[in-house]
Amino acid sequence: MSGYSPEVRERLERDAKEIIGRYPKPRSALLPLLHLVQSEEGYVSDTGQEFCAELLGLTKAEVVGVSTFYTMYKRKPAGEYHVGVCINTLCAVMGGDQIWDELTEHAGIGHEEATPDGKVSLERIECNAACDFAPVVMVNWEFFDNQTPASAKQLVDDLRDGKTVSPSRGPKRLCTFKEASRVLAGIPDDLAGDGPSAAGPSLEGLRIAKENGWTAPPKEESP
């Protein structure tokens, strides 16, 4: 049985059953349920894995096999603000490696480690899917574009000091890691449509096409 308190258990079970009901087979809800339990403790705990196994009719081994495969599920508490630095090819060339080196020294923590106050944790990320804004840093999966070592260090300092920080794109209110996990579980916060989702370099090709009157070629009909 789950080790959650009765109040927490009741609340999580209510949300979990609503999520499970969206799928034709209960086990298909495992990924969102892992996000749900992560939203409770800031990581996927032993208790959280047992909860998922119980509600989905799985063995704990099956749940552990999935939760330890994906890096988005944390094995120890993440910071209130989880900062991911892209060190994949383009971001690295544009300064991502330097950002990582200086940021870890500045914060005094390494990969998947959190500051003593629990405010910030760091992660090396292979790709943020935002190469046109390289180098990119993410905080709780929100984009901070065109970063430098100085701006990344200032960002972490501001987060630790409790200052208001707004992403480059998306909602202007930066949610916590637990709040982001709840959204990823499939429980919306009604902020998905806030702020620009695309800007600058991402729209440059569209701008040039419109200026030149270019359109997509007609679709060929099947013989």
pLDDT in tens, 85-142: 999 999 999 999 999 999 999 999 999 999 999 999 999 999 988 899 999 999 999 9
Residue 102: which domain range? 81-174
Share of the chain above pLDDT 90, in %: 80
Q: For 108, list phi and psi in degrees, rounded to 5.
A: 75, 20
60 lies in the same domain as 92:
no
Instruction: Output the CA angle 65-35-85, nearest 5 degrees.
Output: 90
Q: Is beta strand 81-86 parallel, antiparallel or unpaired with respect to 120-125?
A: parallel
Q: Which of 94, 112, 114 is nearest to 156 (CA)?
A: 114
> Do the domain assignments include residue 207?
no
Tell me the residue type at 47.
T
> Do the domain assignments include residue 158?
yes
Average pLDDT over residues 35-44: 97
Q: How many domains does the chain have?
A: 2
85 lies in the same domain as 170:
yes
86 lies in the same domain as 170:
yes
Tokens of 174: 């930066």
Which H or E run includes 113?
strand 113-114
107 lies in the same domain as 58:
no
pLDDT band, residue 205 (cuts 50/70/90): confident
**pLDDT > 60? residue 2:** no
**pLDDT > 70? residue 182:** yes
93 lies in the same domain as 161:
yes
How high is the pLDDT of residue 39?
A: 97
Q: Is pLDDT larger for residue 196 or for residue 163?
A: 163
> Do the domain assignments include residue 91?
yes
- What digits encode the pLDDT tens for the residues 10-21? 999 999 999 999
**pLDDT > 90? residue 218:** no
Q: What is the mean pLDDT of the chain?
A: 93
Long-range CB contact pairs, 24-28, < 8 A, 24+ = 26/55, 26/56, 26/57, 27/56, 27/57, 27/58
Share of the chain above pLDDT 70, in %: 98
Q: Is pLDDT larger for residue 200 or for residue 89?
A: 89
28 lies in the same domain as 86:
no
43 lies in the same domain as 124:
no
What's the CATH code of the domain at 11? 1.10.10
Q: Is pLDDT larger for residue 135 or for residue 219?
A: 135
Average pLDDT over residues 30-41: 98
How high is the pLDDT of residue 219?
A: 81
Average pLDDT over residues 52-61: 97
**pLDDT > 80? residue 162:** yes
89 lies in the same domain as 162:
yes
**Alpha carbons 23 and 16: distance in angstroms, whole number:** 12
28 lies in the same domain as 90:
no
Residue 73 vs residues 5, 25, 76: alpha-carbon distances, Å: 22, 22, 9
- What digits encode the pLDDT tens for the residues 74-96? 999 999 999 999 999 999 999 99
115 lies in the same domain as 161:
yes
> Do the domain assignments include residue 92?
yes
Tokens of 7: 């109040």
CB 122 within 8 A of CB 111: yes
How high is the pLDDT of residue 152?
A: 97
- Model pTM score: 0.87
163 lies in the same domain as 132:
yes
What's the CATH code of the domain at 85? 3.40.30.10
In sequence order, the β-bridge partners of residue 39 are: none
> Do the domain assignments include residue 44?
yes
105: Cβ–Cβ under 8 A, 6 or more apart, which residues?
Answer: none
How high is the pLDDT of residue 33?
A: 98
> Do the domain assignments include residue 1?
no
How high is the pLDDT of residue 223?
A: 65
